Amino acid sequence: MISPMFRAHDAVPGVHAKRPVRAGIVFRMHRGAPPRSGFTEADAFGPMTSRGSPSGSARPATCRRFEGETDDMTTSVDTREHGAPEEVSTNLLKNSIRFATIVLMVTAAAAPLVVVSTYIPLSIAFGAGMTVPLTYLTATLILLVFTVGFAQMAKRITASGAFYNFTTQGLGKPIGLGAGMTVMIGYSMISTAIGGLFGFFASLMFEHYLALTIPWWICAIGAVVLMFVIGYFRVTLAGKVLGIALGLEVLVVAVIATAVVVQGGAEGQMPEVFNPAGWAAAPAVGIGFFFAFWSWIGFETTAIYGEETADPKKSVPRATYIAVITLGVFYVFASYAGIVGFGGDSVEQANTLVDQYYFVLADMYTWPFMRVLMDFLVLTGCFACSFAFFNNSARYFFSMGRDHILPRRLGRTHSEHKSPFVANGLQAMISIVVLLVFALIGADPVLHVGGWLPIFCTLSIILVQAVVSFSVIAYFNKVGRAGAGDWWKTMIAPVVGGIAQVVVMYLLISNLPFLAGSEEAVVMLIPVYVAIVFVLGFLYAFYLRRSHPKRYERIGTVYDEEEIEEIAEHRPA
């Protein structure tokens, strides 16, 4: 989530969604039952009477396992040299993530310090002008509306594939796989992009503070290796790392913003910045709204950690609401302080200072060491953001590996740590290869790696968020709604949220040259690249249906015991 306009080559570091739809395959592990081969959709809703029950009393049926699966969510893997199957874990670490940890990990993905030091000044200078605080407030309200539908899906479907599973359950397997592939590649590349920026800033800091010249790509690859090592262990370790980095970022910005507001800024308090009439005088309010929505990329990843969270049906929706509200309050307050700090000259100062805007405010209203601290926290913020998306992409690779859509090995978890270590390794290798390619062709780590790649990633994620909104509507059209209140949550809110995402996509595409700082063909074709990924996933689903029907049936599998009982409970007689 680094602004493509963030240029700092000649500066010192720091300048700068209770019934799942039957379209998807859902099952639970029936303890003690022998493995069964094959699986059809009819099996999932098959006799309502318990087989083997002495009384034959009716109870919710459990769905059969796929071929090769055994108790405790393990998979039999043929080891030919030993002549016997080997049991490998496909379980993530259950009940390992606390509610607060989800909020911290998701908020870290938004990289709040980077938003404050880059997006907000850019929006003041070239976007919403003096009305940036109002723009962020409006974006917060719109995203809360999107979250209403998203939370309804999260209450019913728990899966590490999140968007991939949501869209499959709502709009069917082909669209679900297309969306899953798109967001998976998007998260993978955004982690790589932010890792590249980390390398750039780290290289600057080594040179500035230690007089050491280390190429940016070496620093970036070192960061990727560190991410893999941390991700190899229990997810709780990743949560602690991200939590510490996030806490320091928020603390520093809060201190600076509070100091500015308490001291009255340059011209006193300015409530007029919340007057919608001010949008008429903004340089380009559309760009301002784009930067505002861009600042939230990552908040939707709460659902990814559902399988690892205690009581995900409650924790995930609540964490999503809190993440949106917390970030919203933070951004509104920080942007308001940014305006008050320079008063009526804010637009002019933002044009002149751009990425140094908030650093100068730190010099003016706080202590000298705050600027140095911000230098280091921009670096840790980049690492935390990249690592958060590293975890996200790895869980998508893991989810598709477990569903046998991608190689099955990707669906393995560590026997002790229960981490998706194979998927982590794949993400690390992808990042390293991409970084090396960029380095070999002499690419600019800020413009090309940190600028163009995030635009591709952001467009991918916004597209899938729009698809998810309409998936909510389709899902509840199939399973029904409990009452009038559900119409707001599962119809009206998703429509508004989906339309808002489409508008943001339009703003991104229409402002591509400005956002990328280039009109080169490779940049102007970014929307085409995103469409190609989605279509390839869509077509791959049809290939699987024709050539590998068992694998096709696994698309969008939901590994959730509670869901099965609810399906059986609501199954028509």
Q: What is the pLDDT of residue 96?
A: 61
Per-residue pLDDT of 83-115, as tens digits, reads 444 556 555 555 567 777 788 877 877 888 889
Residue range 36-68, pLDDT digits in tens: 334 343 333 333 333 333 333 333 333 334 444
Mean pLDDT of 398-413: 89
Token couple for 20: 């799942």
What is the pLDDT, as a whole number, of residue 27?
31
Considering only CA atoms, which of 159, 167, 186, 177 is closest in space to residue 405? 177
pLDDT in tens, 506-541: 988 988 888 888 888 888 999 999 999 999 999 999
Rounded to 5 degrees, φ, ψ at 289 are -65, -35
Burial class (CB within 10 angstroms; exposed 0-12, middle 13-18, buried 19+) of 541: buried
The domains located in the chain, with CATH, are 26-89 (no CATH), 99-570 (1.20.1740.10)
Least confident of 121-125, 233-237, 253-257, 442-446: 233-237
Cα–Cα distance for residue pair 339/329, rounded to 1 Å: 15
Instruction: Indicate the pTM of the whole model.
Output: 0.78
How many angstroms separate the CA atoms of 28 and 155, rounded?
A: 17
Say how far apart CA 169 and CA 156 lie, in whole Å: 11
Residue 90 pLDDT = 56
Distance CA 415, CA 77 (A): 14
Sort strands 74-79 and 69-70 into parallel, antiparallel or unpaired.
Answer: antiparallel
Stated as kind and residue range, the H or E segment containing 76 is strand 74-79
Which residues on neighbouring strands pair with residue 78, listed in sequence order?
85
**pLDDT (tens digit per residue) in 165-175:** 999 999 999 99
* Amino acid at position 127, single letter: G
pLDDT of residue 91: 54
Instruction: Check: CB of residue 179 under 8 Å from CB of residue 435.
Output: no
Instruction: Determine the pLDDT at residue 484.
Output: 67
18 pLDDT exceeds 80? no
Region 292-313: mean pLDDT is 81
Residue with tokens 């049936």: 553
Q: How far apart are CA 312 and CA 38, in angstroms?
A: 29
| pLDDT for residue 565 is more than 70 | no
